[in-house]
Chains A and B, each alone.
Chain A
Amino acid sequence: MQYALLIYEDETLYGPGKKGPAIQDIVSRHMAFNRELGAKRVGGSGLAATSSATTIRTTRGKHSVHDGPFAEAKEQLGGFYLIEAKDLDEAIAIAKQVPVLQDGSIEIRPVLGPG
């Protein structure tokens, strides 16, 4: 099956526009983790800070464009992995190794369609 691992962290830890010193640290840890994942990594990427986000909302067929992320919260979606795992237990084991700077949450979501 394929799973998306959605990484939620407090992005202010990475400084304004995610350009602080901590970003170097986490990027090198993600690169090491990528190498470890090998063929199990199907895709994924870090995301720019939510200050760069634009949200299109659709209400009764009408689009409206908004500045900012979909939801304001303490932790924001900061990146994701798309992985290949045998089952949820393997996905959980992999998700536990996803690097986070301090506190954070990894949401595991099965990918729809033939996995």
Chain B
Amino acid sequence: MSGAALERVFREASGRIVGALAARFRNLALAEDVFSEACARALEDWSAKSVPTDPAAWLYQVAARAALDGLRRRRTHARFECQLSADFDTDPADLDDEAVIPDERLRLIFICCHPAVGVDARAALTLRLVCGLSTLEIARAFLVSEATMAQRLTRAKSKIADAGVPFELPAPRFWPERLDAVLATIEIAYGKAHEDAAASGPHAHFAAEMLELTSTLVHLIPDEAEPAAVAAMVRLAEARRPARIDSRGLMVPLSEQDPQRWQRPLIDEAIGYLNRASALRPDAVRVIQAKIHAAWCSRRTLQSPPPWPQVMSLYDSLLTRRDDPIVRLNRLVAVAEVHGIEAALSELESLDGGLLRHFAPYHAVRADLLRRLGRAADARCAYDEALLRTSTHAERKWLTRQRGLVLEPQS
């Protein structure tokens, strides 16, 4: 097995194994440490011999044994005596028979997203422990140095340990208030997967992970609208993946994607979730957002007109619930199609550019409007600004092509 393949195995196993270990030993840092230890052992062992049939089970057993050994050594120290609870005091012998790793990822998510953990640290911790991202990758996603991120993660883990954040799933009466943090975290994590349009990068398996997690969440919390809305959104976005990049590796904008390449079964599943969410709370922010995705996915062929008027009116109702520059920017894309490019551009220029200026889509939308108005020099400048802030390959290629479409003004 190649290094990259091994890394993928480790990453995919991470959430389940760290979750199971954390639930069992009630210690996040320990769970993470012994999992790393098991991965290091696997690197030596598997290259010398062969890869076990169930690599995850192997990793779990080795990690759990390392944790037990460590705890046993520490037990000589009287101070730790009281921290050892009966449930892992008794059963080291069972370990070898343990082929099935208990799925404690939801528990792990609720721990990582506890309100006592700082908002920034929640998503970072979830990406690290549940999704198995490296500290460096998370640091890049959050635009901080690796050292800063490492410190943030360590602090969050100590807070969880020292403050006595429970390792049990919260009682159902706590779910509503705990849920928003969990959903926001899932959105951020899925955002990472979505950025990677070709699904070939290190976040490729995220998407599948998020599909599974959201359905578990809906199953556990059936009476709340927003988990179902997020489950719908993740599926609708994921359904479009096959159409998001063309054969030359260029991004395809939503309105130009061939709906026949979208994955219908995922869309159907999503509509089931959306109907459920809509019946519970039709005007919740995440429900409206899911409806926007659904409006797009209701298109059947490239020949049928894009649902711009419907999309615009959904953005209008979203604005009454959540008015921020990014919602306004997204709405403008629809405004350009419904009310015309001039109208959209003048609204765009009136947006608060302070925050948006650092945001690539702002420049991309602006460039597109300027190009279509024939303002060649301004359009090129805006494309350059967008390119400067875009990191994904497919988007850069698309922006470069669009920039090339800017016509010289007739003289």
Contact = CB atoms under 8 A, between A and B. Distances in A.
Is chain B's binding surface mostly helix, strand, loop or mixed?
A: loop
Of A1, A3, A89, A90, most buried by chain B (CB within 10 Å of CB) is A89
B166 interface: yes
Interface stretch (B157-165, B307-315, B330-338, B373-381): B157-165
Contacts of B114: 88
B82 A87 contact: no
A96 to B, nearest CB: 11
Contacts of B174: 89
B118 interface: no
A89 B163 contact: no
Interface residues of A, number: 13
B82 A114 contact: yes
Interface residues of B, number: 13
A42 B79 CA distance: 22
A88 B168 CA distance: 11
B170 interface: yes
Contacts of B165: 87-89
B82 A88 contact: no
A88 B170 contact: no
B166 A110 contact: no
A85 B165 CA distance: 11
A89 B82 contact: no
A110 B163 contact: yes
Interface string B114-128: 101000000000000
A89 B163 CA distance: 10
Among B79, B165, B166, B168, residue most surrounded by chain A Cβ atoms (within 10 Å): B166
A3 B163 CA distance: 9
B166 A89 contact: yes
A35 B194 CA distance: 54
B162 A87 contact: no
Contacts of A85: 164
Contacts of B162: 110
Contacts of A3: 164
A88 B163 CA distance: 6
A86 B166 CA distance: 8
A91 interface: yes
B363 to A, nearest CB: 43
Interface of B: 79, 82, 114, 116, 162-166, 168, 170-171, 174
The 10 A-B residue pairs whose C-beta atoms are closest, nearest first, are A87-B166, A88-B164, A1-B164, A87-B164, A88-B165, A88-B163, A89-B166, A114-B82, A110-B164, A110-B163
Given A88-B116, A89-B170, 20 more contacts: A3-B164, A85-B164, A86-B166, A87-B164, A87-B166, A87-B168, A88-B114, A88-B163, A88-B165, A88-B166, A89-B166, A89-B171, A89-B174, A91-B164, A92-B116, A108-B163, A110-B162, A110-B163, A110-B164, A114-B82
7 contacts: A85-B164, A87-B166, A88-B166, A89-B165, A108-B163, A110-B162, A110-B164
